[in-house]
Structure 1
């Protein structure tokens, strides 16, 4: 299934993409696409419905973030071997975790707004993992059983804020609009192996990132298992699992960063595409 949230920011409704690619309204079945309906049992109920009998949504409404009421937005840093190489970083011994503020979460096609003083806003296409069932102390072998589905995340980053303002990476990762998520949540049964998904990102029509989740240092299962040893993962939590090479910071001979008016387009196999225009804030 492809589950979506559509409508104006803060007033999104739950929806589903039917077999014909049309948007159907799920408002009479569920309150929201959030942790409360992401268990296997709840998703099975949605699967049994006749999609074609659900109300058809006319027009072209805005798509919101594909998961509502996210409790934790976790990100794994330097998790692609070829991306670590382009940044000159050592291969980590364990998954590098940083948190992205949930207030950064944005619709997949909403504008990305560079904060005041930004000079190094960068792009990062990433595979997002959405937890469906609460888990703690899970093994790698069982970890994927706790996944509701997958989505695209653009881990937009302000590199000066991230690396030059004393503190942790969170400063450069959590600016408003820096977490486009969606366009839809694709349930795990439709995705299959999360370690064999091609991914790409263009800026102004020029291909910047090309990669595949097969080059992850730590697999999705390893990331889930590792994090669950330290704290509970709750339904609706999102893990953004790292980016392939081609980020602006890694460009040679000089880094290349976003500017107002730029357009990012990005996609992952089976998960759709995003498009964001870049604007300056005030």
Structure 2
């Protein structure tokens, strides 16, 4: 029987990863791993790894790089104790020739000796700080995945990688907007402050009720549709690159690390 999300809210990062590795939990990780950095995932052949690293360096808001594995090594030594990237993410998306081929919960059989794993900071980290400040988030309260949209904002290309920025949306009470910017600025490795607040059309989003990823969330009266750079952006860049194979996390299903969420340098901060 699978583990329950509510029960795992108080689990340690190591215990949470153990549940995921054992196949007992395969849902989203929003609201889990309090106090530590969650990470988006990209795995690709070494032949494309340097260009992808350049892409992340040129686009730090949507692609805040927090960890890079060694070629062929699935253990992410800098992000925590005994993290096996093949098993410790609840769900993975497999892309072949730039197209989503399947979603799986374990990539042990797909791992290649030339794979390089990249971990990128995730918005779930700053959500914990917003919740602690009493700022509600509809998707957490309703156990859904945050809505994500392909925006009209261009990223800076590198090699075969490029495309539009993906953004995540949360409806924020008007009187808490200053608090949101102040809090999120503290987390540059978790996308930092919002990239836009207000009319979604100004960043190319026609219908805020129809996200491309995640679940719809309302924008009630007295709230502002607020958008952050999102770690699905590199997935779009990987699709556009059309690599023979690459692997990402399934949106909303993150790697929970041992790195403190407010770390100034994640590489040096794993517990």
Q: TM-score range by the shorter chain?
A: under 0.3
TM-score, structure 1 length as denominator? 0.27
Q: Which has the higher helix share?
A: 2
Relative contact order, CA 8 A, sep 6+: which one is greater?
A: 2
TM-score, structure 2 length as denominator? 0.27
Q: Which structure has the greater CA radius of gyration?
A: 1
